[in-house]
Structure 1
Amino acid sequence: MLTNSEIFETCRRLIAADETPVPVAGVDDLDLPAINRYFLRLAQSELTVDNSELLLRELVNTGIMIETTDGIFPTLAGILAFGKLPQRFFPSYEIRASAYASSNFDSDAIDQKDIQGQLADMINGAIGFVTRNIKNHSTIPDGVQRVDRLEYPIEAIREAIINAIAHRDYLISGAAIRLFIFEDRIELYSPGGLPNTITLETMKYKQFSRNQTLVSFLTGLGFMERRGKGILRMINLMREHGLPPPRFELIGEELLVTFYSSAFYVLREVIHARNPGIRRKT
């Protein structure tokens, strides 16, 4: 007889990570009001606990739960999107955010937060963290009305956070998404390399999805579109804001996305002026 952890690990090797059953969880660990809000967006009928057989069937049909030979359990995607306490089962599936006043880790963090909850909570929480830790430039172009402009296009950052949650490798246990805000850039680290045949060169144009069930939930919740144009949108938003496109790098087992602010180039010129022998990095 396999233990719950052995069942989980066996299933992870046989099916997509986000479709893996979570045998230590049950239907009571799911947030039914959140599920019904999702169903409402899809123009589907609300579920009730009055008919448990119908409830379980609908949850299985939508991928929130899965039927196995040992019973019906929530899927990993179901717990992450609609679990009452997702991090109770997966503590590292969170966003660990830190903000620094300088351009490196030499100074103490001025703000830190472990962002948890359902997918929607994490996305909104991460955006809130970024918004309160980046500069807000105010101008009065007409001499009358003040116009506020954030240091970065927040929709581009939002797109990157959603992509990190949607496409991270959930087979890498113990690894969280990491978000760092420096005075000249934002760095977002997502566990896992690029899936399938995707490369850094082709990822702008190719649609890919490591976690199809999770992506379908994010799409239904209104966070994603099925067109797969998120990266191009990030690039365009940064350019419209007068900033360079985001930089994508593979660092070990993580995908790093870096957003540079205008301050990056100011600091670079200052450093070069003081140290003319140092070659500029593009």
Structure 2
Amino acid sequence: MTNEELLLLFNDLESDRVERKKSWNSSKEKIREAICAFANDLPNYELSGVVFIGVHDNGDCARLTITDELLLTISQCKDDGTIVPFPTMVVQKHVLSGCEVVAIIVEPSYSPPIRIRGRAWIRVGPRRAIASPDDERILNEKRRSKDLSFDLKPVLSASIDDLDIGLFQRIYLPSAIAFDILEENRRPLEHQLVSLRLLDSVETQIPTVVGILTVGHTPRDYIYGAYIQFLRIDGNELTDPIIDQKELDDPLPDTMRLIDDLLEINIMTSSTFVGSRLEAKRPDYPIEALQQLIRNAILHRSYEANNTPVRITWFNDRVEISNPGGLFGQVNKSNLGQGATDYRNPHIAEALKNLGFVQRFGFGIPIAEKSLDVNGNPPIEFQIAPNSVLAVVRKG
């Protein structure tokens, strides 16, 4: 968006493509709702919406002090896990009509509905509102007309009967949609599945890739690499004896819990005594670090390009976690683990966030590194190839 276009919107007090807020701290939630509404683009303008921070509703300048720290804080709301799927937006500092403001420029999403804490927000003229069932139907139809990421494509050989409806209603639906919205709308099952991107459309009732992975009865029947291979080896080489091996190919909620159980079983804790009475316990690996790295691999792997599983190989001196998918988008060797984010599978990311297995996007590796450091383990070793990423965690 050019400076001239921004200035026109800034001075147009009637435009429904603009929201004005005097500060970030006083309006954080309303600003997030506005970002969500502009991304959903219910009127189908196919034009950017802008949130100006530092100006009152009547156009008077709020004389806000804008620092680099403020710009960074605002930009982080894109991937802090509150708004899913991720909106496309930029945060910039501008001086417009003599007023210093922050401009959040939000692009219409290819994957509506976008939600904040389980609610889809839209623009209704000059105000925001929570999307009604009919509004969500329109947003779903818009999504199907766009170029889809692989995790949102229909699995043509599957049908709605291949989804575990009990798992969906018991676990996924209440984790993804706010309780009051569920109580108010009481939408038919097919509409709920479509709204959450687990079904392609009400008419065809074909599950999407993310639908099969999240609540499919047997995901591996349709997405052949969709499993975790676990090997426990008695030694430091692949040729040493295998103590245990498992293949986890359940839907995501069950697979993630099974992984946590495996980690609990295999992590060994040693005790040392400090003085005569104080016992200090330390695991050979901090569970949080391994959880973050495995979840990262499941989220960022390629489900389209190959049928290789995520591999967890547990040696006596290290754990290796292999992700069959190279670095994606803006993430590269130099910024890996430094907060850079890009998503090959944005809707799988949304599912993991809804299920509570991801708290904040872009922080998995830093959290793992911190946990390892506190526990006394060496830093993670990454071996990066064009089509895979191997994370090696050595014993503390």
What interval of TM-score do these two structures reach, taking the shorter chain for normalisation?
0.7 to 0.9
Q: Is the 8 A contact 1:123 1:158 kept in 2?
A: no
In 1, the alpha carbon distance for the partners of 2:165 and 2:274 equals 49
Cα drift, residue 54 of structure 1: 2.6
Aligned to 1:73, the other structure's residue is in SS state coil
Q: C-alpha offsets along residues 55-76 of structure 1, whole Å, 9 cap, x if unaligned?
A: 22221111111139x8231111
Q: What is the DSSP-based 3-state SS (H/G/I as helix, E as strand, rest coil) of the residue aligned with 1:60? A: helix
Contact 1:185 1:261 in 2 (8 A): yes
Equivalent residue for 2:392? 258
Larger RCO of the pair (alpha carbons < 8 Å, separation 6+): 1
CA shift, 1:252, in A, is 4.9
Q: Quote the residue 1:156 is aligned against.
A: 289
| TM-score normalised according to structure 1 size | 0.79
- When structure 1 is superposed on structure 2, of 38-47 and 22-31 the one drifting more is 38-47
User: Residue type of the partner of 1:129?
Assistant: L
> Does the aligned pair in 2 maintain the 1:95–1:115 contact within 8 Å?
yes
* 1:29 paired to 2:152: no
- Out of 43, 57, 60, the position equivalent to 2:178 is 43
Find the aligned partners of 1:108 and 1:227 in 2 and give their Cα distance: 38
Q: Secondary structure at the match of 2:205?
A: strand
Number of residue pairs the alignment of both structures matches: 245
SS, match of residue 239 in structure 1:
helix
Q: TM-score, normalised by structure 2?
A: 0.57
Match of 2:136 in 1: none
Tell me, yes or no, if structure 1 residue 59 matches structure 2 residue 186: no
Q: Which residue number in structure 1 is paired with residue 347 of structure 2? A: 213
More divergent stretch after superposition (211-220 vs 98-107):
98-107
In structure 2, the residue matched to 1:90 is: 223
Cα distance in 2 for partners of 1:184, 1:90 equals 33
Deviations 1:178-206 (A, max 9, x none): 11011111000011101112102112221
Q: Runs of 5+ in structure 2 lacking a partner?
A: 1-143
5+ residue gaps, structure 1, are: 1-10, 263-282
Match of 1:101 in 2: 234
Q: CA 1:141–1:46 in structure 2 vs 1: closer, same or farther (change >3 Å)?
A: farther
1:249 aligns with 2:383: yes
Larger Rg: 2
Q: Residue deviations 1:62-97, cap 9 Å, x none?
A: 1111139x8231111111011122122234310111
SS of aligned partner of 2:306: coil
Residues 190 and 181 (structure 1), Cα distance of their counterparts in 2 relative to 1, 3 Å cut: same
1:188 equivalent among 321, 336, 340: 321
1:111 to 220, 244, 263: 244
In structure 2, what is the Cα distance between the partners aligned to 1:143 and 1:34? 51
Partner amino acid, structure 2, of 1:177 = V
Task: Kindly indicate which of the two structures has a greater share of residues assigned to helix.
Answer: 1
Is contact 1:167-1:211 (8 Å) kept? yes
